[in-house]
Structure 1
Amino acid sequence: MIGRLRGTLLDKQPPWLVIDVAGIGYELEASMNTLVTLPAPGETVQLFTHLTVREDAHLLFGFAREQERALFRALIKVNGIGPKLALAILSGMEEEQFIRCVMDDDIKALTRLPGVGKKTAERLVIEMRDRFPHWTRDAVDGVACQAIGRQTSSAATSSMADAEAALVSLGYKPTEASRMLSGLGDGLSTEALIKAALARKLSG
């Protein structure tokens, strides 16, 4: 099991990134919450990881925080939730926001996430409620059950097409992804565009 990687960030094309560790390039998939914390390519990064082994592939997922990885691992244990959907959930909500939705039985907020219908949202609430007994209400006090409004800027130029492609990879339809990005400001990084689009979708 690969539990953590530390190396040089070679490339990031949301939701994918490549890290060079002692001459070996590891390709990982990460949530938007993790991607926005990463520096520019060429810098050193350290990520917690989760390895999923399938018959046709070994898939590696990266997380900026150990807590995010813990939530990812709990999500994929829920019936009907695979790694791709778990990553989409983590891209739209930070850990505290998701736990708040579960604690408050906020089915409506959860159904705004891509791939999460009413039945899936209800299953998430039922099965996730007791997964984190150490997460008390005090820990999420004041955290709104909605999309993150944070936007980060980057010196690197970004492409609206890249952001749209990343949203599609998270499960949104192309036309829906285009609407989510419509009218967003120029000069934002690809990651910031995606975060802003997710914030618009989940708050709307």
Structure 2
Amino acid sequence: MIALLRGLVVEKHPNQVLVETGGVGYDVTIPVSTFTKLPDLGGEVRLRIYTHVREDVLALYGFLTQDEKALFEKLISVSGIGPTLAVKILSGLAAADLILSIRRGEVEKLVKVPGVGKKTAERMVLELRDKLPAATGEEPGAPAAEALSPIDQDVLSALLNLGCARPQAEAAVRKAKAAGASLDFEPLFRRALELVR
């Protein structure tokens, strides 16, 4: 499975880029957000790749950042959203706006993306609301949340794996740190687990 592609930009279009590496040209479908940041023709690019395999198709979907690829993968996990529609969604809304719209349940904003109907938008909200990270500036007037350290992220991941909703898990990790819990994984995890219940 192809996960990363680095090479020269041979052709580029708003939804597609042709990347040559090792004498082979790879046709990669991309969202507009990736297209706008591509180098000029002949420039080197490094794309995170999602390889989509069906019985009749082998398609590559490329993203400049791992976060955008992860969001794409979350979108295609929603019933009724395939890779093509997921790219359209990422092209229609900036990643931060998309996350914010889903977390706030703004169906009317989501249906403005071509190909997204009301039922699909509602499914996106229902299935992804608690699975997406908080976008910066989500609470108007609230200070931006401090970034989580690698240990905090491990604790958060453990809480999510136990079935906790992301917003509550993030809040519990922050409260545990603020309450003076040790910065080691186990004590921080135990304190956060107590707070999330």
Match of 1:136 among 134, 137, 142: 134
Q: Which amino acid aligns with 2:134?
A: T
Q: C-alpha displacement at 1:120, in angstroms?
A: 0.9
Structure showing greater relative contact order (alpha-carbon pairs closer than 8 Å, 6 or more residues apart): 1
CA contact (8 A) 1:97 1:140 kept: no
Corresponding residue number in structure 2 for 1:52 = 52
Q: C-alpha displacement at 1:14, in angstroms?
A: 2.6
Looking at structure 1, the residues matched to 137 and 55 of structure 2 have their Cα atoms a distance apart, in angstroms, of 39
Larger Rg: 2
CA contact (8 A) 1:8 1:44 kept: yes
- Structure 1 unmatched runs, 5+: 143-204
* 1:5 partner SS: strand
| Residues 137 and 60 of structure 1: CA distance in aligned 2, closer, same or farther (over 3 Å) | closer
What are the equivalent positions in structure 2 for 1:9-158 lying under 5 Å apart?
9-132=9-132, 135-136=133-134, 138=136, 140-141=138-139
Looking at structure 2, the residues matched to 17 and 107 of structure 1 have their Cα atoms a distance apart, in angstroms, of 31
CA contact (8 A) 2:46 2:64 kept: yes
RMSD of aligned C-alpha atoms? 1.3
Q: C-alpha displacement at 1:136, in angstroms?
A: 2.4
Q: C-alpha displacement at 1:56, in angstroms?
A: 0.9
Corresponding residue number in structure 1 for 2:2 = 2
Q: What TM-score, normalized by structure 1, do the two folds share?
A: 0.66
Q: C-alpha displacement at 1:138, in angstroms?
A: 4.2
| Residues 140 and 39 of structure 1: CA distance in aligned 2, closer, same or farther (over 3 Å) | farther
Looking at structure 2, the residues matched to 49 and 58 of structure 1 have their Cα atoms a distance apart, in angstroms, of 12
Looking at structure 1, the residues matched to 137 and 68 of structure 2 have their Cα atoms a distance apart, in angstroms, of 15
Question: What does the per-residue CA deviation read over 1:93-140, in whole Å, with 9 as the maximum and x for residues that have no partner?
Answer: 1211111001111110001001111111111100011222xx225464
Looking at structure 2, the residues matched to 139 and 4 of structure 1 have their Cα atoms a distance apart, in angstroms, of 31
* Identity among equivalent pairs (%): 40
Question: What does the per-residue CA deviation read over 1:48-68, in whole Å, with 9 as the maximum and x for residues that have no partner?
Answer: 110000111100000011100
